[in-house]
Amino acid sequence: IILSIMEHHANIVPWHFLRDRLGVVLKWVECDPNGDLDPSVVLAAITSRTKLIAVTQMSNVLGTVVDVAAICQGAKAKGVPVLVDGSQAAVHMPVDVAAMGCDFYAITGHKLYGPSGSGAIYIHPDRMVEMRPFLGGGDMIDQVTRDMVTYNKPPMKFEAGTPSIVAQIGLGVALDYMMKIGMENIAAHERLLRDKAIEKLSELNFLTVQGTSPSKGAIFSFTLAGAAHAHDISTILDQKGIAVRAGSHCAMPLMQHLGITASCRASFAMYNTFDEVDALVNGLMLCNDILS
C-alpha cells in the first residue's frame, strides 16, 4: 500500500492494522521542500505487488492540494486502485469523483460543518461488486438461514444495522447549506484569504511557515523562532480570541519528516474575514514579544 508522508493518522492507522494482521507492506512517498507531492513520484513507487494507493487530496497540516486526478489516471493505467482522503479538501473546493477517477473517496462530517461521528465514503460501482461486507446485521442481508447468508445489493450490503440517523441527516443538511452557497464561491473567497495571509505572514521574520506550495489552501502551520512551544503560542492567541490548533495535528510522520515536534495551525474558512487575517498577524507579533 502506497501512502504519502502527509497523511492524517486516519489514513495511516487502518493500514497498520492490515500490516499487523496480514503482513501488508507500507511504502511511503515524500513531498518536496515546498510541501508539494509530485504525482510522478507516487506513480513511480508502483510495483507488481502494489494493491492500493491511499492519498490525501489536501494536507491538513501544510494545506497542499494534491493532483489526485493525475495519480488516479496513472494508477488506473497500471491497474492499481486509489483511495482519496477528502476529509480536509471537501469543505474547501468542488469535488467531482467521476472526473477525478478515484475508486474510493472518504469524507468526515465534522470538517463539513456537520455532526461529529458522521461521514461517508464514495465507492466506485465496480469496486462495490468486488468487496465483501465488513459488518453484519440488519439491512445488509438478503436471506438468512441456519446454514447460509445472502447479502443485499450494494451499497446496502455495507449498511449493517441502524445507522446514526440523526448525524447523517445533519451531515446532509450541512452539505445542502454549502451547496447553496456554492463550492466555487467558497473556494474563491478562501483563495483571497490565503493570498492576504501569505503576504502578511511573510513579513514576520520570526515566523516559519511549513508548506509553501503556490496552490495550497488557506491552511498555515507555523513555528516561532526560538524555544516558543506551539501550546504557549496557542494559549496567547486564545486570550486574544484567535482559535488555532497546536500539536502534531494527527500527522506525526509528517512532523518527523519536517524535523519538528509540533506547530500551530491557522485554518481559514468561508466565514473568515480579511480583518481576521490582520488579527492573526497582530496576535503573532504579541506572541513574539512575549516569548522571544
Neighbours of 151 (CB within 10 A): 16
Backbone angles phi, psi at 285, to 5 degrees: -65, -40
User: Do 132 and 250 belong to one domain?
Assistant: no
Exposed e or buried b for every residue in 118-149, given b needs 16+ CB within 10 A?
A: bbbebbbeeeeeeeebeeeeeebbeeeeeeee
Confidence at residue 227, expressed as pLDDT on a 0 to 100 scale: 78
**5 class by beta-carbon count within 10 Å (0-12 exposed, 13-18 middle, 19+ buried):** middle
Let me know the angle formed at the C-alpha of 236 by 233 and 237, rounded to the nearest 5 degrees: 85
User: Do 134 and 11 belong to one domain?
Assistant: yes
31 tagged catalytic: no
pLDDT averaged over 10-residue windows placed end to end, the chain, 292 residues: 99 98 98 97 99 99 98 99 99 98 98 97 96 94 96 95 95 98 98 98 97 96 92 98 98 97 97 98 98 90
What is the rounded CA–CA span in Å between residue 48 and residue 61? 32
The tally of domains found in the chain comes to: 2
What is the rounded CA–CA span in Å between residue 90 and residue 109? 10
User: Do 139 and 248 belong to one domain?
Assistant: no
Confidence at residue 160, expressed as pLDDT on a 0 to 100 scale: 95
User: Do 195 and 229 belong to one domain?
Assistant: yes
Instruction: Give residue 40's domain range.
Output: 2-181
Which triple of cell numbers denotes residue 223? 513555528
Exactly one of 31, 72, 102, 250 is catalytic; name it.
250
User: Do 120 and 194 belong to one domain?
Assistant: no
User: Do 187 and 156 belong to one domain?
Assistant: no
Q: Are strands 141-144 and 119-123 parallel, antiparallel or unpaired?
A: unpaired
Reported as a single tens digit per residue, the pLDDT across 17-63 is 999 999 999 999 999 999 999 999 999 999 999 999 999 999 999 99
What is the length of the chain?
292
Which one, of 15, 72, 66, lies nearest residue 43 by Cα? 72
**CATH number of the domain residue 237 falls in:** 3.90.1150.10
User: Do 166 and 250 belong to one domain?
Assistant: no
